[in-house]
Copies of this chain bind each other. A is one copy, B any other.
Amino acid sequence: MDNYKLHFIPLGGVVGVTKNMYVYELYKNDALQDIIIVDCGIGFPQEKELGVDFVIPDISYLKDKTDKIRALLFTHGHEDHIGAASYHYEALGKPQIYTSKLTTMFLEHKFKEAGRVPHMEVIKFGRDYTFGGFTVRFIPITHSIPDSMHILIKSPVGTTYHGPDFKLDLTPPYGLLPDFYEITKAGKEGVLALMSDALGADHPGLTASEKIVGQTFEDEMRGTKGKFIMTTFSSNISRIRQCVEAAIKFNRKIVFLGRSMKENSNTAHDIGYLPIPDQFLLKEEEVMQLPPNKVCIICAGSQGQYGSALFKLANNKNKNIKIKQGDKVLFSSDPIPGNENEVYALIEDLTLKGADVIYSDIADQLHASGHGSQEDLKFLMRFTNPKYCVPIGGTIRHQREYQKLAVDLGMEKNDVYMLDEGDTLWFSKNKVQTGEKVETKQIYVDAYGVGDVGSVVLRDRHTLSEEGIVVALLIIDNNGNLVSTPKILSRGFIFEQEGQGIFEEAGQKVESALLPRVGRLSDKSALKKEVGQIMEEFFFKARGRHPLIVVDVIQI
């Protein structure tokens, strides 16, 4: 009998929550046969305050295997599941993409930005797809974006249920219900491993339906005499749709603010997921011409991002729209941990401008998580009845809480595998063992492009943020002479005026150190290094601190 093995490799998504990318490899008699990949999203690193926009998965592991990649599947249209696709698509050998309608549309935007849109297959539910030795079935599930899916991955080794980001929403405002029959049928037929969302594993109970927020929108709109401004994640199409429906009910015209918000609502509108009668669509420039109680603004920037549409409104920087007394701003999202300061600063700014700001500390039902709580997660475990569990999309804390839930349902603790990025599992029939760890690097992306931001840059940014910077400029002539006393600049180190004396002193220190070699200062690299050391020592002695020292030599 042939000896099949299934190799499961999370290239992201575990522990770090975001940057989801999962590789399933099928081996026959130790020879790799087929690969399918689920999701390829961006991540949000701890170092975001240092100017890194996001991280993307490291796909080095797949470098020599792209000919075996049979399909690239996407579970839903959130950035952390699709955002890296356009970066890696070519390097993955342009695999065939399969996903749901809305996700296709969101991917199309990503690919457009990157230059070329590949063909993508919009999947059908209730049928099997064959990808080499894999047979795959897509299952409708509910999350905070329509067209979310779970994926049943069958192979000669057994069936894995790939179940990321979900909650069991019995009344989704838009889109399909979870297909409980398909899910429980998988369980009946036997699931070897369940890869499950775990982000809500520390929340008791069942996550509220997205629908509760729709009622809140209506209630809040009813009493608002000014403009109604709602902010949420721009991918949360269900939320946006509910706000639109309430606005239409209360005869308010709708305007979208923020690039991503405009883009996503356009996309959803185009494919019929966000119907808005034409007469309800408002242009930004028209807003202030209407009575304020005829306006509903749906706005990006719910996390207090600097420069976002809501930030501009709060800081009087939107040239068309001003916040006035009587306006209401509703935050329909909770601050992501780490963003609290920005969000609260925004709330204060909006309040100062006269707006009535409603956010989750002072009101209920403004937001429903897209992630299942303990009971949702337990239901999925019971439905699929897996032999093994792998919590994905949660931090270590969530993984542990998930493990407790599994134990609570009678599973063995050891049958719940808590993986770190690059950790792998080898499944064979009814068995599993941990495999060798796959090396993964952090690949940073900022405004300048992918991978430009290495760890050195990040360390610099870290130093900058804590110690400031001192720049020394040396001007030398062709003969290797110092043209003038080195010029010293600084930012974020010490107060400029106070520092004037110390900088002059530093300049002189450098000058006198170089004096013996005047006329021979031609090795710029050595010069930079030497001056750097002198200054580092000097400033540490003078101030006990280690600013980032930058030395530049200009030859004239």
On A, residues with C-beta under 8 Å from B are: 170-171, 177, 180-181, 183-185, 187-188, 205-206, 211, 375, 378-379, 382-383, 408-410
Contact = CB atoms under 8 A, between A and B. Distances in A.
26 contacts: A170-B375, A170-B378, A170-B379, A170-B382, A170-B409, A171-B378, A171-B408, A171-B410, A177-B382, A180-B180, A180-B184, A180-B187, A180-B382, A180-B383, A181-B184, A181-B185, A181-B188, A183-B184, A184-B184, A184-B185, A185-B185, A205-B205, A205-B206, A206-B206, A206-B375, A211-B408
Question: 10 closest Cβ contacts across the A-B interface?
Answer: A181-B184, A181-B188, A180-B184, A170-B378, A184-B184, A206-B206, A170-B382, A206-B375, A180-B383, A171-B409
A313 to B, nearest CB: 35
Contacts of A206: 205-206, 375
Contacts of A171: 378, 408-410
A187 B177 contact: no
Given A171-B408, A184-B184, 20 more contacts: A170-B375, A170-B379, A170-B382, A170-B409, A171-B378, A177-B382, A180-B180, A180-B184, A180-B187, A180-B382, A180-B383, A181-B184, A181-B185, A181-B187, A181-B188, A183-B184, A184-B185, A205-B205, A206-B375, A211-B408
A265 to B, nearest CB: 25
A211 B375 CA distance: 14
Contacts of A409: 170-171
A75 to B, nearest CB: 21
Contacts of A378: 170-171
Nearest to A383: B180
Contacts of A185: 181, 184-185
Contacts of A205: 205-206
A378 B169 CA distance: 10
A409 B177 CA distance: 11
A409 B172 CA distance: 9
A383 B379 CA distance: 13
Contacts of A181: 184-185, 187-188
A408 B171 CA distance: 8
A383 B211 CA distance: 19
A185 B171 CA distance: 20
A205 B374 CA distance: 13
A403 to B, nearest CB: 15
Nearest to A177: B382
A184 B187 CA distance: 12
A402 to B, nearest CB: 14
A24 B177 CA distance: 32
Contacts of A170: 375, 378-379, 382, 409
A378 B178 CA distance: 13
Contacts of A188: 181
Contacts of A382: 170, 177, 180
Among A181, A205, A375, A383: residue with most chain B CB under 10 A = A181
A357 to B, nearest CB: 28
A464 to B, nearest CB: 50
Contacts of A379: 170
A409 B187 CA distance: 26
A61 B409 CA distance: 46
Nearest to A185: B181
A8 to B, nearest CB: 25
A535 B263 CA distance: 91
A132 to B, nearest CB: 29
A184 B182 CA distance: 9
Nearest to A187: B181
A188 B183 CA distance: 12
Contacts of A183: 184
Contacts of A383: 180
